Amino acid sequence: MLKRPCLPSRDAFKHRSPLGFFVCSRRGLRVNDTSSHLKGLKVLVIDDSKTIRKTAETLLAKEGCEVYTAVDGFDALAKVADYTPDIVFVDIMMPRLDGYQTCSLIKHNKVFRSIPVIMLSSKDGLFDRARGRIVGSEYYLTKPFTKDELLSAIETHVAAR
């Protein structure tokens, strides 16, 4: 990702998004200026894959987020109660309590139902996406995901609250 300011003389279409991104439409460049906006944002990443948890944690921590991780749905429910995250990313296929069940339990709790839940999966089928919507998820992110996809999901769903 190129990091340079958008210049009005060279970048015909620029705007600042709610979380501080400058988007230069003509050149397709994105300059990350999120440090003040994401700082302290509480993000919970639930995945049984240590690689996915560490990757997401590293990417989001660099943006100033407070990142909590959980290995399965039961661990996640305890962390939701303890930390009340601003957004939750949950893998679909996990042992003990899968992502659909975890999302459903979060969304059926009147204290936590307003927390945006983003489903994570390597499965990209229509049925999987529909099932995620049925249990209350706001969005479905396919693995492998990029830093921009993670940040875009946060920008879209946390700003919408």
Residues 37-82: pLDDT tens digits? 788 999 999 999 999 999 999 999 999 999 999 999 999 999 999 9
Beta-carbon contacts of residue 11 (< 8 Å; ≥ 6 apart): 24, 25, 26, 27, 29
For β-strands 87-91 and 42-46, DSSP reports them as: parallel
What integer best gives the mean pLDDT of the chain? 81
Give residue 131's domain range.
Answer: 39-159
d(CA 17, CA 160): 12
Does 80 fall in a domain?
yes
pTM of the model: 0.75
d(CA 68, CA 73): 13
Does 143 fall in a domain?
yes
Q: How many domains does the chain have?
A: 2
Claim to verify: residue 135 and residue 120 sit in the same structural domain: yes
Distances (CA, A) of 130 to 20, 25, 108, 124, 157: 31, 32, 18, 11, 18
Burial code (b: 16+ CB inside 10 Å, e: under 16) for 15-43 equals eebebebbbbeebebbbbebeebbeebbb
Average pLDDT over residues 115-121: 94
Average pLDDT over residues 21-26: 40
Claim to verify: residue 103 and residue 152 sit in the same structural domain: yes
Does 98 fall in a domain?
yes
Does 95 fall in a domain?
yes
Does 2 fall in a domain?
no
Claim to verify: residue 26 and residue 102 sit in the same structural domain: no
Claim to verify: residue 45 and residue 120 sit in the same structural domain: yes
Contact between residue 40 and residue 34 where contact means Cβ atoms under 8 Å apart: no
User: Which pLDDT score is estimated for 70?
Assistant: 97
Which CATH number fits the domain that encloses residue 71? 3.40.50.2300
